[in-house]
Chains A and B, each alone.
Chain A
Amino acid sequence: MNHDRAEIVEDLNRLMAEEVEAFLRYFQMKFRLRGVERLAAEKLLDEGTRETLEHAEAIAKQIRVLGHIPQLKIELDLHASPTNLQDAMAEMLEVERQALDAYREVLPRVAGDTMLEDFIRKQISVETEHVQEIATLLE
């Protein structure tokens, strides 16, 4: 395996960590929310947990295709502080924006690998949609 390929696997492991962390944040956020708004937000947070886990799995599959085992390295301490819908959405927007930027950063590095390029482009498209959706809710 050449050096570039090793770096791509490292990039994919990082992307997977972003998604798994986002999953855990969505999961916990559901229980941090207070107030009647919580009911309205639950569906969105459930969607968030489902989609981030799907993304993590999709990335793991790409790593496997490259002949590697996904390496998950996360350090996370999610404090049990209550929050309101506005702050929760602002936090999730931040996480989604970072995921989007992370995918954008990886795109030029996979140029030439049709399969990976298509995969990353698709993820950018999906993440862009998420960011816009949450940003709209915060307007």
Chain B
Amino acid sequence: METWKEFEANELTHSAAHHLIAIYEVGLEYGGWARVSDVARELNITRGSVSINLRALKKRGWIDTDQHHMVKLSPKGQRAVQSVLAKKAVVKAFLTNVLNVPEPQAEIDSCKVEHLISRPTGEQLVHFMRFLVSEDPLAKQVLDRFRNFHDQCPETRTCDVCQGHCLIQELQQATL
């Protein structure tokens, strides 16, 4: 499968991930149970939309409902939420603590990829972060050196990273 098509094939869509997280967050105060109206307020969308989207989540076994139309994460849904939140946390920590991306931007960017990165990538990112904050003197040195590294593109606008295309230039021209 071509890589870009994997986004489409992802079982947990961005919308589904946010519905599950909203149920988790609203449910924290009520033993895991959430009302459709509270989920709608949390997501800032209509109750009708939430209700229709929950039907799809139920079909996939992410949530359970009761006779009063209350919703709760199923064990499968709980695992999905934990996984998404863990990936978001590590990506955000990497962006803010290592790359020094401002917190609001790191929040947005980590939200965009939280449900898309794979478990192995997430785990490796955690290991890498743990290495950077470890007692290993080299780790501290790497982090310090990076933070004090003032990068300047060569006049040729190409280097070992860019390999023919100046990535910085392309990023600066990008509108996204």
Are A and B interaction partners? yes
B55 x A98 contact (CB < 8 A) = no
Residues in chain A near residue B48, CB distance under 8 A: 18, 21-22, 25, 94-95, 98-99
Q: Give the chain A neighbours of B44 by CB distance below 8 A.
A: 73
Report the bound CA distance from A73 to B49 in whole Å: 12
Closest CB-CB distance, A27 to chain B, in whole Å? 14
Q: Which of B15, B45, B51 contacts A97 (CB 8 A)?
A: B51
**A97 proximity list for chain B (CB < 8 A):** 51, 69
A129 at the interface (CB under 8 A from B): no
CB distance from B116 to the nearest CB of A (A): 18
A97 to B55, CA, bound (A): 14
- Report the bound CA distance from A55 to B172 in whole Å: 48
Task: Give every chain B residue within 8 A of A14 (Cβ-Cβ).
Answer: 46
Contact present for A91 and B55 (CB under 8 Å): yes
Q: Are B37 and A101 in contact (CB under 8 A)?
A: yes
Task: State how many angstroms separate the Cβ of A108 from the closest Cβ of chain B.
Answer: 14
Q: Mark A9-43, 1 if CB is under 8 A from B, else 0.
A: 00000100110011001000000000000000000
Distance in Å: Cβ of A112 to nearest Cβ of chain B:
22
Total contacting residues, chain B, CB less than 8 A: 14
User: Which A residues fall within an 8 A CB radius of B?
Assistant: 14, 17-18, 21-22, 25, 73-77, 91, 94-95, 97-99, 101-102, 105
Task: Report the minimal beta-carbon distance from B42 to chain A, rounded to whole angstroms.
Answer: 13
Q: Chain B binding site: helix, strand, loop or mixed by DSSP?
A: helix
11 A-B pairs, CB-CB below 8 angstroms?
A21-B46, A25-B52, A74-B45, A75-B45, A94-B48, A94-B52, A94-B55, A98-B48, A99-B47, A101-B37, A102-B47
Contact present for B55 and A102 (CB under 8 Å)? no
Q: Binary interface profile of B, 38-58, with partner A (CB < 8 Å = 1, else 0)? A: 000000111111111001000
C-alpha gap A21/B45 in the complex (Å):
10
> Which residue in chain B gives the minimum CB-CB distance to A25?
B48
Q: Is the CB of B47 within 8 A of A76?
A: no
Asked whether any CB of chain A lies closer than 8 Å to the CB of B36, the reply is: yes
Give the distance in Å from the alpha carbon of A99 to the alpha carbon of B44 in the complex: 16
Complex-state Cα separation, A25 to B48, whole angstroms: 10
Chain B residues, Cβ within 8 Å of A18: 46-48
**Contact across chains for A101 and B47 when beta carbons are under 8 A apart:** yes
Contact yes or no, A75 B49, CB < 8 A? yes
CB pair B37–A105 under 8 Å, yes or no, is yes
Give B76-94 as 1s and 0s: 1 = Cβ < 8 Å from A's Cβ atoms: 0000000000000000000
Q: Which of A74, A91, A98 contacts B47 (CB 8 A)?
A: A98
Chain A residues positioned under 8 Å from B36 (CB to CB): 98, 101
When distances are taken between beta carbons in the complex, the residues of chain A under 8 Å from B55 are 91, 94
Residue of A nearest to B55 (CB): A94
When distances are taken between beta carbons in the complex, the residues of chain A under 8 Å from B50 are 98
